[in-house]
Structure 1
Amino acid sequence: MSSGRMVRVTRIDTGETWPSIAAAAKALFVTPTSLSKAKVSGRTHVCDIPLKFEDTMTTVNATEMKDLETGIVYPTIVAVADAFGVDASQVYNDAKNGHRLHGHRVVFTDEEKAKECKPYIGRRKKRVRCVDTGEEFESVRDAAERMGVTRSCVTNCIIQGWKVKEMMFEYAQ
């Protein structure tokens, strides 16, 4: 995904308009590079064709988004990407797939766009049981805190079949 900017190209003498530099280049039989360079340098003519370049927002990137954790509403996907220091494509993909972005749930405010997204599903909590004592814990985190070890220690014990503090653990059904 691009930075969110598109360039609308208008031929001044005929009024023809193209939604992008690529479309204009194809219609005018010039290279996209020549149009891009003309835009960047501020020229208004390419191969003696009078042109006007306008920055526009793509429909996807112009979508307003909201951070559910802070309540901040961002005008565009690019604004979210800048705020979190990530690429706009990561913001878009995380929102579409129901993932968090640096711990924040960022969603589209447009109802139609929101319907296209997968709902956010938090991490599943799996109940853990101590094989030796039969005691059950709400989650790996709960078991780790009660045993005074790290979560990764409990998880590795379950997966590898190791013991933690001389006890075996498993996921409860």
Structure 2
Amino acid sequence: MKFSHERFVERLNLLHPEIVPLTEYVNSQTRMTFECRACGHVWSAQAYGLIAKSRSSGCRKCSVRAMLRRRSRKVRCITTGEVFDTLREAAAKYGVSRSAISQCCSEPPKLKRAGGREWEYVATCFPESVDLTRPMRGNRPDKTGLSFPKTKKGRPRPSFLW
């Protein structure tokens, strides 16, 4: 189906309201220039990549930042009581390497101090609706060491299926 420029912009605004096309839409295979209003990043990509629901992640720079925020763990400086959202923030503030802080936070700790301070990861909280006594997915084991149901014939489930 052939889109007009107006229809393409309408669909783009529906899927990614923060992205603005800087060049005219020709067809889905032609590269266009886009700008992200959120971070100001300008890039070139095929138009299809932004309007296809299954492939589209929007601005690459913003999606990487969001992924890093989801993956990052909060860190507490035990000495001062300060809590940082990421290792990078803590390392930048005190001029210590991220790996040194990470080694202090590991279980068991490989270092006692980094930059003359003690560090630990801040425990994440789970919503009350999550039952931590049950596995999260089907019959896969979790780290709590719970036993799981056997197969229909009453035999233990082979470990390679977990």
Same fold, judged at TM 0.5 (above): no
Range of TM-score over shorter length: 0.3 to 0.5
Give the structure with the higher percent helix. Answer: 1
Normalised by the length of structure 1, the TM-score is: 0.35
Give the structure with the higher percent strand. Answer: 1
- Higher Cα Rg: structure 1 or 2? 1
